[in-house]
Amino acid sequence: MTKIGLIGLGTIGSGVVKILKENKTLITARTGTTIELKRVCDLDEKRAEMLGIRGIYSQNYKDLLNDPDISTIVEVIGGYEPARTIIIEAIRAKKNVVTANKAVIAKHGEEIFKAAEDNNVSIMFEAAVGGCIPIIKAIRESFAADKINRIYGILNGTTNYILTKMEEGLSYDQALKQAQELGFAEANPSFDVDGLDSAQKLKILSSLAFNAKIKDDILTWGITKINKSDIKYAKDLGYTIKLLAIAKEIDDEIELRVHPTMIPQTHELANIKNESNAIYLVGNNIDKAMLYGKGAGSMPTATVVVGDIIDIAKSSSITNYYSEEKKLKDINTITCRYYLRPNVLDKPGVFAMIADILGKNNISISGVSQKELGKDIVPITIITHNVRESDMMQAVDQINKLDVVKSKTVVIRIEDI
Ligand code: HSE
């Protein structure tokens, strides 16, 4: 029997309580072990009452850490603090820890894994990335014998939902509102729409896949500048726009970026719709593998939290988390094709000015289009050949300074995966 303490009775915590109760027999039959919820903690006592577990409620997390019967603490409160303090204190109290907290693992992972190693306990965090998708297990265990060299992830359900709904005709604001109503958006939508949630998840995945210490300087662009016309132009060109988290290890250099990306409509990732998440891995031996599923939500996420608890109970968890210092690629040196959409005055010589700037910055145009809209200000869409990031950023800056350019140029990188 394994006795656990659960800290946090919100979306995921309440799911954990339900699963442990409803699937008790199933869990015992499948694993040969029993898991008992010994104590729970939350600031709000009413949550415990609503779940029918008032009898094991405590308002002070230290009660759980000081209980000698409890061998595993489950932290599902989220955020940096007090989550980090609780996890570190739990580890020092020689408790194993299961967490769903991507923020704390992305920011304080090194400290936490070191503490777990020093105290000979396990730290498990499957639910931190991709909701119910067992991507951490896939990288750390199933594919441990391979060298993974590329990761392409749709790691944020909210932005994928928004982009899907915009493809179906909703405006950005309407789609965001729906995502919030459905309950998978972060409390602060900026975390989702500005790409920060995806960047935290990418940091965790790339550290594991590349066995590397990753610093925080991940190029991170969100989806707020994308409008319906970009989605339509992309479609006409055979592409779909996704907020993609990209990690590559090439020649011992690691390249990390999160940004709206045009990917071929025929690619598997292009068909990941709504709030679903997917992670597409490329490895030397496995070639390509894609894992797909619900990236958020109470019961899907709680299921893998309980999976981690079971792993610990069966003593099949992994404590070690060795990471090497590796060189991070200077993002200015990456090359890719780009989609540009400046909104310009429709008058003679304007396109020539833009083409001149592109040419002077070593940028070769692969395709260009301007629809006849009968308006004074019109969008021009430009697709380039392979271009160096620093050249493109300089050119875009110069284009945006032209008097005839009336709003900031939309820039989308193209990834011919
Ligand atoms: N806000 C996240 C998302 C869910 O939309 O995917 C939790 O990671």
Whether 321 maps to a domain, the answer reads: no
Q: How far apart are the CA of 387 and the centre of ligand 1, in A?
A: 32
Residue 80 shares a structural domain with residue 172 = no
Residue 117 shares a structural domain with residue 141 = no
Whether 319 maps to a domain, the answer reads: no
Residue 186 shares a structural domain with residue 241 = yes
Q: Does ligand 1 have an atom closer than 6 angstroms to the CB of 185? A: yes
Residue 241 shares a structural domain with residue 256 = yes
Residue 207 shares a structural domain with residue 341 = no
Residue 7 shares a structural domain with residue 24 = yes
Report which of 393, 381, 335, 415 is spatially closest to residue 231, judged by C-alpha positions: 381
Residue 270 shares a structural domain with residue 387 = no
pLDDT in tens, 189-226: 899 999 999 999 999 999 999 999 888 789 999 999 99
Residue 103 shares a structural domain with residue 144 = no
Residue 165 shares a structural domain with residue 189 = yes
Q: How far apart are the CA of 295 and the centre of ligand 1, in A?
A: 7
Q: Report which DSSP code applies to 406.
A: E
| Structural domain that includes position 56 | 2-128
Give the total number of structural domains in the chain.
3
Question: What is the per-residue pLDDT for 30?
Answer: 87
CATH number of the structural domain spanning residue 15: 3.40.50.720
| Chosen domain end from 265, 295, 325 | 295
Question: What is the per-residue pLDDT for 416?
Answer: 86
pLDDT in tens, 302-328: 999 999 999 999 886 665 565 788 888
Whether 274 maps to a domain, the answer reads: yes
Distance (Å, whole) CA 6 – CA 282: 36
- Residue 35 CA, chain-centre distance (Å), reads 30
Among protein residues, the one whose CA lies closest to atom 4 of ligand 1: 296
Whether 305 maps to a domain, the answer reads: no
CATH number of the structural domain spanning residue 342: 3.30.70.260
Q: Does ligand 1 have an atom closer than 6 angstroms to the CB of 158? A: yes
For the question of whether the overall pTM of this predicted structure is more than 0.85, the answer is yes
Distance (Å, whole) CA 252 – CA 182: 42
pLDDT in tens, 259-311: 999 999 999 999 999 999 999 999 999 999 999 999 988 999 999 999 999 99
Question: What is the per-residue pLDDT for 407?
Answer: 92
| Chosen domain end from 89, 107, 128 | 128
Whether 309 maps to a domain, the answer reads: no
Whether 304 maps to a domain, the answer reads: no
Q: Does ligand 1 have an atom closer than 6 angstroms to the CB of 268? A: no
Whether 146 maps to a domain, the answer reads: yes
CATH number of the structural domain spanning residue 158: 3.30.360.10
Residue 140 shares a structural domain with residue 118 = no
